Structure 1
Amino acid sequence: MHTYQLNYPIESQVVETQGIVLVLGFFDGVHLGHRQLLETGKKVATEKGLKLAVMTMNAHPSQIYGPTDVSVPLLTTTAEKTELMAQLGVDILYIGNFNGPLAKVQPQDFVDEVLSQLNVKAVVAGFDYTFGKKEVANMSLLKQLAKDKFEVYEVPSYNQDGQKVSSTRIRHLIEQGDVDQANTLLNSIYQTSGKVIHGFKRGRQLGFPTANIDSNAKKVGLASGAYTVKLKVHGQWYQGMASVGYNITFDDVKDLSVEVNIFDFDEDIYDEMVEVKWYHYLRPEEKYSSIEALIDQLNQDEIDSRAYFKALEK
């Protein structure tokens, strides 16, 4: 897959001379709804004998076109999104640089000086896609402005359990701790990353040493509680369990912490960058009456987590 940063005006080196089928969207999470768009794009591209391209943005649309500059937590970083697009068979990925002039392009110019300049033969987008202020620059306007320049394919809502599958819905699920359902809608495992930092080293004293992770603040934060996870360090994935919360049994932690107990692992990984996949929500954070009660629960969490992974292997 070729990946290009897209600036305005369009630079000749990013243009596919044979033409492309372009799928439009922000694609946060690259979830089941997004995959329906990509499948439609792939079908059209195959029929036309063209390459499949995707255009996304380097900032959330609400930051570009919204009334405020409030940051929306992300399901996927640009790097994660890029990896998923490559796995799904996209030929060209355009990452729009919306920190520059591209963000101010008017709807007609977007069609004439961006899409047409990219040699687009067909555009695929969701029914609710917007390319500017949503009150104006919606799919109806895109079809009008495209005229005879290129075809426009509008993909309807993708629903599951009677609800639209959307990035907003998945964010809410993760924030509530329901990573199991979120992962179903993502069709992948929610992932975070961060540097291993020094903590209280209390886990080691309890017999469950943990990697304390300073996670990416731009990603969607998880609800407090215990989770079944995998952690990647030095290029290898390890099974484990994680605690998200304030260690309320001890009453001395003021900031939210993310700690992972890595199974069958005993290495010093301070200051290492790691990745965490969040597979399963075990239980909410609890305050225990004694250290012994906490240790008993941690033992049960490990039993449950190992059993979860064993069941996945069947």
Structure 2
Amino acid sequence: MQTVSLSFPLEAGRWADQPPQVLAIGDFDGVHLGHQEVIGRAVSRSRELGAVSAIMTFHPHPRQVLGQDHYIRLLTPRWTKREFLSELGVDVTYMVDFNESFMRLSPEEFVEHMLVPLNLDTVYVGFDFRFGHRGAGTPDTLCELAKGRFAVEIVRPYERGGEKVSSTRIRQCLQDGQAREAGELLGRSYQMEGEVVHGDARGRTIGFPTANILLKDPYVLPANGVYAVRVLVGALWYGGVMNIGVKPTFEGALIHPTLEAHLFDFESDIYGENVQVRLVDFIRPERKFGSVGELVDQIRHDADQARQMLSENN
């Protein structure tokens, strides 16, 4: 998949001699089941036409530019989003620089200078798509502004459990510790990636060595607690149990949560390596224990429960 950076305005005529494109537009944070429905239809249509399948997405997240600071943390950083889009069969991803100037474009300017030059056959958007200054443009507006130069397909909401699948709903699931439910809405387990760094080595002294993972990007952090996880080390996946939290049992409890994963049947030194973590299910909230012995007994129980969860979720 090719990734192309774009900024306003596009160069007129740049795509004139290239094959027509079928484009899906959206932020697509999470690339969840609802996003996959929009993208899948665009890819399918492009195959029917023998056209290029393309995505237009935005960086930074539009809501971050609008001052909604909690959108600094994402479900899918740019590199992860590109990986998922490629797996869905997308040929080209257009990454648009979303800044304050771009935010002030009128719907007409967006269509004339960001869409028309791309030599589009069809544009796919979700039913709640908004564009232009203060979200003035709607799917109906897009149909009007297309003026027959490209077709517009509006995709109805994708529902699961009687509710619309959305990035907001997934964020809430994670913040409530509902890792399995978040995975069901994403269509895969929620994943984060980071570097294994040195910690206090306390886990090794109590019989449960852990990998301390420093996240590479500002991910949406799940609720503090213990999770059944799968961890990719090199080319191999290992089951494990992971604590997200501040380690309240020990003196000098932390202010900011850390990620500590104990991998099953694993003994290698992986300091400095990047690993990928997939949250499979939630086991329990983090809590303070009366003694290290009580904590060890609980970790042993957590590990057994994690193994059971992972065996049921192959």
Matched residue, 1:164: 164
In 2: Cα distance, 1:243 partner to 1:74 partner? 20
Q: In structure 1, the residue corresponding to 2:312 is in which secondary structure?
A: helix
Alpha-carbon contact 1:96-1:102 (below 8 Å) kept: no
Change (3 A) 1:69 1:308: closer
* Alignment of structure 1 residues 72-221 onto 2, 5 Å: 72=71, 73-99=73-99, 102-216=102-216, 218-221=218-221
1:83 is matched by which residue type in structure 2? E
In 1: Cα distance, 2:217 partner to 2:113 partner? 35
Deviation at 1:96, TM superposition (A): 1.0
Of 69-78 and 221-230, the range deviating more from structure 2: 69-78
Matched residue, 1:283: 284
Deviation at 1:100, TM superposition (A): 8.1
1:20 is matched by which residue type in structure 2? Q
CA deviations over 1:6-53 (Å, ceiling 9, x no partner): 223325666771211100101111111011111221333233332211
In 2: Cα distance, 1:16 partner to 1:238 partner? 49
1:290 is matched by which residue type in structure 2? S
Deviation at 1:283, TM superposition (A): 0.9
Deviation at 1:219, TM superposition (A): 0.7
Q: In structure 1, the residue corresponding to 2:117 is in which secondary structure?
A: coil
Question: Are 2:28 and 1:23 aligned?
Answer: no
CA deviations over 1:168-204 (Å, ceiling 9, x no partner): 1000101111010000000011111122222221111
Percentage of identical aligned residues: 38
Deviation at 1:268, TM superposition (A): 2.2
Deviation at 1:81, TM superposition (A): 0.7
Matched residue, 1:40: 41
Q: In structure 2, the residue corresponding to 1:312 is in which secondary structure?
A: coil
Structure 1 unaligned spans of 5+: none
In 2: Cα distance, 1:71 partner to 1:237 partner? 31
In 2: Cα distance, 1:80 partner to 1:266 partner? 28
2:300 is matched by which residue type in structure 1? N
Q: In structure 2, the residue corresponding to 1:208 is in which secondary structure?
A: coil
In 1: Cα distance, 2:84 partner to 2:100 partner? 26
Change (3 A) 1:119 1:82: same
Matched residue, 1:232: 232
Alpha-carbon contact 1:16-1:118 (below 8 Å) kept: no
Structure 2 unaligned spans of 5+: none
1:233 is matched by which residue type in structure 2? V
In 1: Cα distance, 2:69 partner to 2:311 partner? 42
Of 183-192 and 44-53, the range deviating more from structure 2: 44-53
Q: In structure 1, the residue corresponding to 2:133 is in which secondary structure?
A: coil
Alpha-carbon contact 2:62-2:98 (below 8 Å) kept: no
| Number of equivalent positions | 311
CA deviations over 1:95-142 (Å, ceiling 9, x no partner): 112248645543212111211101011110001111223441222221
Of 101-110 and 127-136, the range deviating more from structure 2: 101-110
2:269 is matched by which residue type in structure 1? D
Deviation at 1:309, TM superposition (A): 2.2
1:92 is matched by which residue type in structure 2? V
Alpha-carbon contact 1:31-1:185 (below 8 Å) kept: yes
In 1: Cα distance, 2:34 partner to 2:148 partner? 28
Question: Are 2:15 and 1:8 aligned?
Answer: no
In 1: Cα distance, 2:312 partner to 2:68 partner? 44
2:156 is matched by which residue type in structure 1? P
Q: In structure 2, the residue corresponding to 1:193 is in which secondary structure?
A: strand
Q: In structure 2, the residue corresponding to 1:144 is in which secondary structure?
A: helix
Change (3 A) 1:298 1:178: same
In 1: Cα distance, 2:97 partner to 2:289 partner? 49
Matched residue, 1:305: 306
1:107 is matched by which residue type in structure 2? P
CA deviations over 1:179-236 (Å, ceiling 9, x no partner): 1000000001111112222222111111001111122451101111110112223333
Please report the TM-score for the alignment, with normalisation by the length of structure 1. Answer: 0.92
